[in-house]
Amino acid sequence: VLLASRPSGVPAPEHFALVRTPIPQLGNGQILVRNHLLSVDPAQRGWANNEGNYSDPVSLGTPMRALAVGEVVESSTPHYCKGEFVYGWFGWQTYCVTDPDAVLRRVTQSALPLSANLSLLGINGLTAYLALHQLGRPVAGETILVSTAAGSVGSFVGQLARILGCTPVGLTGTAEKVRIAQQRYGYSTAINYRQETAIAQALQHACPQGYDVFFDNTGGPIADAAIRSMRRHGRIIQCGTASIASWAKPVSGVRNEREILTRRLQWSGFIIFDHIREFAAAAEKLTELALSNKIVFDEEILFGLDQAPTALSRLYRGQNIGKLIVQLV
């Protein structure tokens, strides 16, 4: 699936082209990976756009950048063997010839399904685990507000917060997701932000004492309102900006500097790819939690490569329940 043209916001199917080409020859030191499962991530919107980001934009006419889980089917390096499964930058394509540095983590065999390597043990679970612990520094008894609470990252933040003895409060976009967040992901309460005319009041009603940590995945008006009910010395984790369709032009909103100052807040950005060395240890911990039934992971699996181009807009319409994955094999 090639990126055929640059979107100005959320990529739609017309921005991609499905083509068939021969598998390139394997160079010295390279591996050929047969992709089994492709990841669909909100971050792909930013990678496809030509805007300031933490990584270069995907070049037009090249396979769409994506994380994937695949099997090494040929290897000309001693570091990876034929038959081994790996997680890394293999793109929205059936096969990928690559240098080994595209591999982020080896897939270790466990009782968990292979797909868990893209959800619980992929960037969603890893981001929830590492960002919450390292930037949120939650202490038992604290309240943690989470936006996109019923999404993949949000589902893990709620459950991890609960495990740590905290009270997670969620924001999400439908009544069904409110129910799932509360009944399945450990949220003590959840707010449907699309139904509320005044998010600030709904937050005050749900958390009269405010919250200590705000795990923000949306930015925009939700974040503008949420910051104003933070407790003193609160920590804001800026993990995503799902509500802002494009950063091409400056986006304006209310000014919150005074809130940061007077409430003594810490506002930190988190990018999971700064933490690759911590992936294996975090994945081991998350595996333990899942195998001891302390954490659940939900996935929505679409079948066939031709599903990939439509999957991103599905994510941005909030239609996914759980981690969106495209299965090829």
Ligand X SMILES: NC(=O)c1ccc[n+]([C@@H]2O[C@H](COP(=O)([O-])OP(=O)(O)OC[C@H]3O[C@@H](n4cnc5c(N)ncnc54)[C@H](OP(=O)(O)O)[C@@H]3O)[C@@H](O)[C@H]2O)c1
Residues near ligand X (CB under 6 A): 41-43, 123-124, 127, 148, 150-154, 172-174, 177, 217-218, 239-240, 242-243, 270-272, 315-316, 318, 320
CA distance 214 to 240: 12
Q: Which is nearer to ligand X, 16 or 47 (CB)?
A: 47
Compute the least distance from the CB of residue 10 to ligand X, in Å: 8
Q: Residues near 185 by Cβ (< 8 Å), separated by ≥ 6?
A: 149, 150, 154, 155, 158, 159, 168, 170, 296
Least separation in angstroms between residue 7's CB and ligand X is 15
What is the number of other CB atoms lying within 10 angstroms of the CB of residue 270? 18
Q: Which amino acid is at 267?
A: W
Least Cβ distance, residue 324 to ligand X (angstroms): 7
Spatial distance between the Cα atoms of 134 and 270, rounded to a whole number of angstroms:
10
- Cβ closest to ligand X, residue 98 vs residue 127: 127
> Minimum distance between the CB of residue 59 and ligand X, rounded to whole angstroms?
21
Dihedral, CA atoms, 86, 87, 93, 94, nearest 10 degrees?
Answer: 30
SS3 35: strand
Of residues 80 and 267, the one with the C-beta less far from ligand X = 267
* Continuous segment of H or E residues that includes residue 299: strand 299-303
Closer to ligand X by Cβ: residue 136 or 154: 154
Rounded distance between C-alpha atoms, residue 264 and residue 231, angstroms: 9
| Nearest approach, Cβ of residue 191 and ligand X (Å) | 10
Helix 152-163 and helix 123-131: axis angle, to 10°?
Answer: 40
Tell me how far, at minimum, the Cβ of 223 lies from ligand X, in Å: 10
Least gap, CB of 21 to ligand X (angstroms): 29
- For ligand X, the closer of residues 75 and 119 by Cβ is 119
Q: Cα–Cα distance between 116 and 107 in angstroms, integer? A: 10
Which conformational region is residue 83 in: left (phi greater than 0), alpha (psi within -120 to 50 degrees), or beta? Answer: left
User: How is residue 6 written in tokens?
Assistant: 């640059």
Q: Please say which residue, 15 or 177, places its beta carbon nearer to ligand X.
A: 177
C-beta of 31 vs 41, nearer to ligand X? 41
